[in-house]
Structure 1
Amino acid sequence: MPESPEAQFDLAVIGSGGGAFAAAIRATNLGKSVVLIERGTVGGTCVNTGCVPSKALLAAANARHVALDSDRFPGVSMDAGPVDMQELVSGKRSLVEGLRAEKYVDLIADYGWELRRGNAVFAGTPEDPVLELTGTDGNRATVRAGHYLVATGSSPWAPPIEGLQGVDYLTSTTAMELNEVPESLIVLGGGYVAVEQAQLFARLGSKVTMLVRSRLASGEEPEASKALLGVFADEGITVLRRATVESVRTEPGGDVLVRAMSVGGRDEYTASRLLVATGRRPVTDGLNLATVGVRTGDRGEILVNDMLASSNERIWAAGDVTGHPEFVYVAASHGSLAVENAFNDAGRTVDYSHLPRVIFTTPNLAAVGMTDKQTNEAGIDCECRVLPLKHVPRALVNRDTRGFIKIVAETDTGRIRGITAVADNAGEIAAAGVYIVSAGMTVDQVANLWSPYLTMAEGIKIAAQTFHTDVSRLSCCAS
C-alpha cells in the first residue's frame, strides 16, 4: 500500500464524539492545529447510538403510554393502537442524521479541522509517540502531534454466559434498529440502559421480564430501586432480583430460553428476543497503547490522573474510555479540561462531587451529590429525609404520586450533600440540585428560598422543610 508523508499537528484526537469535539473546539480557540481520526461514524455514541436515539424512542413510547394511561384523569379516555416500528425507527434515524450533520459534521468545516477516516494505532516510543493511520481507502500515513487525546468511548459488553455467543441477542445499539416490536423480551441487567430499554419496549407493547443480579439502579438510593419496582409492576414489567444467569439457548421455534438461579431457585424463562444490557467497556483494543507507555486497567480503561493525563505525559484521555462516569457531559468536560492542561499547563482537575445523574424512565430517577451510603463510607455524619410525592402539589395535579425526593444533609451543619428524586421531570430537580450542592447550601437555606408553586422542583424546598416541620400539616402553598 502507498504511504503518505508524515503530518504535524498540535493535537491529534482519536474519536469524534462529545469529548473529541469539545477538545477540538477548545484547542482551536487556543490557536492550535487539530486532526480528528475516526474509523466509524462521526459523532460518537451519544448522537448515533446512545442518548439521542434512545431518548427519542423513549419519548415516543411515553406518548403511547400517556394515551393508554389517560383514564387516571376523570372524564378522559384515549386508546393507542399497535406501533409501526419501522416508521418509528425511520423517524429516529432522520433526527439522528440531522443532529449529526448540524452539531458534528458541519462543525468540522466551520472550525477548519482535518478529518482523517481510518484506523489509528500508536507506534514509536514512549518518548516519541506517533500514530500509524490506515485509511478507509487503504492508504497509510503517519500522524505526529505535540499531544494526543484518546476519546474512543465505550461499547456494549456481554458477560461470559454459557451459550450466549450462539444466540442472536440484542444490545442497546441493535435494539434501536428493530423492524418490529418483540412480542416478548428478556432483559439482562438492572442499570440505566436496562431499565430505560425495559420500559421502552414494555410501553411499545412487549411483555418484558428483567433478570437483575442485585437491584434496579443499584448505585443509587435503595428507595429509588423500590420506587422503580412499583412503577414497573404497574406497567406489567416482571423484575426478578438476585438472579444469576447460568445459560442461554435458542429454542427450535426461535424463542430464546434463559436458565437462571434466583432466590426462588433455578428456573427457565423464554421470550422472543433477548436484550443484554449488562454494562459497557472502554474501547482500547488494538490501539497499541503499551508500546507508547500508556497503562490500562482491568476493563481496558486508560488509567488517568485527576488532570486526565495518562502514564505518558503527551497522551491524554477523555470520556468513557477512562472508565469514569458514562455521561456525554462528562466526556465534553474531559475534552476541554485535558486541552487546557496539555497546552496551558492549567492544572485543572476533575470534580464529581456535584455530578448530576439521570435515568430517563418515566418517572425519571435523578440524583446529584452523595447517597446515604456514600456519606457513611466517607465517615460523614449525616441525616436524611424522604418526602413522598403525595406532599408535592405538582404530583397531586398530575394524578401520579409514585416517587419521592430525598435529601442527605450533614448532621451538625445542615449542609446538603445529596439529593435524589424519582418523579416526573426529576432531571430538572437534579439540575437545580447541582447549584444547591455545589454552593454548600443548608437545609434551612433551601427551606426558606422562593420556589414557584406547582412545579416539581418545589419539592426540593418541601423536602428541606421536613427536617424541622411536619409538612403534612402545611397548607398547599405555605412557605
Structure 2
Amino acid sequence: MSNDKNLHIAVIGSGGAAMAAALKAAERGARITLIERGTVGGTCVNVGCVPSKIMIRAANVAHLRKESPFDGGVSTQAPVIDRSRLLQQQQARVEELRDTKYAGILRDHPAITVLQGEARFTNPRTLSVQLGDGGAERVRFDRAFIGTGARPSEPPIPGLADTPYLTSTSALTLASVPERLIVIGAGFVALELAQAFARLGSRVTVLARSRLLSQEDPLVGEAVEAAFRREGIEVLRQTQASRVGYTDNEFILDTNAGTLRADQLLVATGRTPNTDPLNLVELGMETAHGAILVDKHLQTSVPGIYAAGDCTDLPAFVYVAAAGGSRAAVNMTGGQDILNLSVMPGVMFTEPQVATVGLTEAEAIRQGVSVASRMLDLEYVPRALVNFDTSGFIKMVAERDSGRLLGVQAVAGEAGELIQTAALALRAGMTVHDISDELFPYLTMVEGLKLCAQTFTKDVRRLSCCAA
C-alpha cells in the first residue's frame, strides 16, 4: 500500500470503472480529483444495467399475467400497460441508486474533490478542465485514470442520421410503447430490449446482419430465435438496411428483405468509446477505433496514465470495468495487480436467459485443444420440468483426455444464477467428473450443471430424480 499521502490522482469519469478507481486509490492514501462532464454515475446506473433490467422485469411480469405454463389452472388477463407510470417507477429507482451509490459517496468523501466539466490532456501530467459554469481549471497530477465509458454507435446507413431513431439510451426513457418497432442489431442489448418492448405490447421485428448472437455458439442463437418466434417476434437473419427514411411519423427501411415500416426504430449495433475530447492522439496514447489500449496492469501506452471500462479494449461489462478500475488504483499507488479475464461470465437477460463462461467448442478447437462436449436439454433438469418450461439447454465443453472443464453455455430460465457456479469450477480447474460428484441442491436450476457433467459418462435419462 502506498504511504505517499501527497500522491495526486486525476480520475476522468464517474461510472463503474472511475468510481472503483477513485475509491480504491483514496483507500490507499491518495488524494483524488474526479472530473465528470455529465451526470454522475456513468452508463450502468443511469442509462444501462439498472433501468434496462427494471424495464425487462416489468415486461416479464406483464408477459406472465397474459401467458404462463399454468394457464390451464390460473386465469389470465391481458394487462393494461401504463408506460408513464412504469417509467416514473424506473427513473425513481435510478435516481435513488445514483445518489446513494455515486453522488452521495462523492459528496461525503474527504479525499475526493469533484470537478464538473470536460477534461483534456495538455501533457502527460496536466489536464485542462472546461468547467460547466464556463470557466476553466488546470489540474496537475502524479497519475491519471481514464474511465469515460462509451456511447451508442451510429452505423453508416444512408438517411439514418436524419431520422429520430432510438438508441439503447433513449429507448429506456421512451414515454409510450410503440405499436410497431424495428430493432437493428442482434447482440445482448438489442435482444433484451426487443423482447421487453414485445412483452409490453409492441409488434417487434429484429434485423440481424448474420444471425442472433453471432459471437456465441450457434445453438445459443438458435434457441433464442425459437423463443422469440414463439412470442411473435419476427427475426430476419442475413438482413441489412440500405436506407432509412422518416415520413409522416413513420420509419421506412429499404432492406434486402424488402421495405419495412415501423413507428419506432431502435438501433443497437455497438458502442463507441468516449475518448474524442481527451486529446489522446497528441498525447501519443495508443488506441484502436477510439478504444484505449491497456496492458495487463491497466496502464496505457503513456506511463502513469491508466484506464479501464468501456473506453478501453476490455470487454464491455460493468463488473469488468469496476474490477479494472480497482486494480488500476492499486497499481497507481505502488502495487502490481493484474486483471485476469480468463474466467469471465456473461449474461443476457432475455427469457430464457443466456449465460456463458469460458470457451465455446469452436473456440477451444481453434486453440488446438482436443475437446469433448455434451449438451443437456432442459427436459432432463427437474427444476425446468416442475416449472413446465423446458425450452433451452446447458452445454459443457471439456478437454477430452483430462475432462477439465473449458466452458459452459446455458439457455435457460435463470441461467444467470447458475453461471457463476460454472465460473468458480473453471477457476478451480475442476473436471466434469469433479462436478458430477458434487452435491447440488435438488430442484434448483444449477443442478443442471451436475446433470450435464454426468452425461459425459452416464445416460441421464435412466437416472432417478436425485441420482448421484
TM-score, normalising length: structure 1: 0.95
> What residue number does 1:118 align with?
117
Q: CA offset at residue 345 of structure 1?
A: 3.6
Equivalent of residue 332 in structure 1, options 311, 322, 325: 322
Equivalent of residue 259 in structure 2, options 265, 268, 271: 268
Q: CA offset at residue 477 of structure 1?
A: 1.5
Q: CA offset at residue 123 of structure 1?
A: 0.2
Question: 1-side partners of 2:240 and 2:274: how far apart?
Answer: 26
Q: CA offset at residue 476 of structure 1?
A: 1.4
Matching of residue 468 in structure 1 with residue 457 in structure 2:
yes
Equivalent of residue 396 in structure 2, options 399, 407, 428: 407
Contact kept, 8 Å, 1:42 with 1:100, in 2: the verdict is yes
Contact kept, 8 Å, 1:162 with 1:247, in 2: the verdict is yes
> What residue number does 1:369 align with?
358
> What residue number does 1:12 align with?
10
Q: CA offset at residue 70 of structure 1?
A: 2.8
1:245 aligned partner, one-letter code: A
Question: 1-side partners of 2:59 and 2:440: how far apart?
Answer: 31
Contact kept, 8 Å, 1:71 with 1:77, in 2: the verdict is no
Question: 2-side partners of 1:455 and 1:275: how far apart?
Answer: 36
Equivalent of residue 164 in structure 2, options 155, 161, 168: 168
Question: 1-side partners of 2:246 and 2:80: how far apart?
Answer: 27
Q: CA offset at residue 290 of structure 1?
A: 2.0
Question: 2-side partners of 1:458 and 1:215: how far apart?
Answer: 30
> What residue number does 2:253 align with?
258
Question: 1-side partners of 2:358 and 2:71: how far apart?
Answer: 35
| Count of equivalent residues | 462
Question: 2-side partners of 1:468 and 1:401: how far apart?
Answer: 23
Q: CA offset at residue 73 of structure 1?
A: 4.6
Q: CA offset at residue 9 of structure 1?
A: 5.9
> What residue number does 1:81 align with?
79
Matching of residue 444 in structure 1 with residue 433 in structure 2:
yes
Matching of residue 293 in structure 1 with residue 281 in structure 2:
no
Question: 1-side partners of 2:459 and 2:335: how far apart?
Answer: 52
> What residue number does 1:205 align with?
201
2:209 aligned partner, one-letter code: R
Q: CA offset at residue 71 of structure 1?
A: 5.2
SS of the aligned residue for 1:121 comes to: strand
Contact kept, 8 Å, 1:82 with 1:205, in 2: the verdict is no
Provide, for residues 337-378 of structure 1, a one-character-per-residue CA deviation record: whole Å limited to 9, x for no partner.
Answer: 1111222241x2222211000000011100111111111111
Provide closer, same or farther for how the CA distance between residues 73 and 474 of structure 1 changes in structure 2, counting only shifts above 3 A. Answer: farther
Question: 1-side partners of 2:325 and 2:42: how far apart?
Answer: 14
Of 348-357 and 66-75, more deviation after overlay is shown by 66-75
> What residue number does 1:148 align with?
144
> What residue number does 2:23 align with?
25
SS of the aligned residue for 1:433 comes to: helix
Contact kept, 8 Å, 2:65 with 2:79, in 1: the verdict is no
Contact kept, 8 Å, 2:69 with 2:388, in 1: the verdict is no
Contact kept, 8 Å, 2:127 with 2:138, in 1: the verdict is yes
Provide, for residues 257-312 of structure 1, a one-character-per-residue CA deviation record: whole Å limited to 9, x for no partner.
Answer: 11112xxxx41111111000001111101110122221211x20011112111110
Structure 1 segments, 4+ long, off by >6 Å, are none
> What residue number does 2:67 align with?
69
> What residue number does 2:241 align with?
245
Structure 2: segments with no counterpart, 5+ residues: 1-5
> What residue number does 2:3 align with?
none
Contact kept, 8 Å, 2:207 with 2:239, in 1: the verdict is yes
Contact kept, 8 Å, 1:70 with 1:77, in 2: the verdict is no
> What residue number does 1:3 align with?
none
Provide closer, same or farther for how the CA distance between residues 120 and 9 of structure 1 changes in structure 2, counting only shifts above 3 A. Answer: farther
SS of the aligned residue for 2:464 comes to: coil
% identical equivalent positions: 47
Q: CA offset at residue 134 of structure 1?
A: 1.1
TM-score, normalising length: structure 2: 0.97
Q: Map 1:309-324; keep pairs closer than 5 Å.
A: 309-324=299-314
1:229 aligned partner, one-letter code: E
Structure 1: segments with no counterpart, 5+ residues: 1-7
SS of the aligned residue for 1:72 comes to: coil
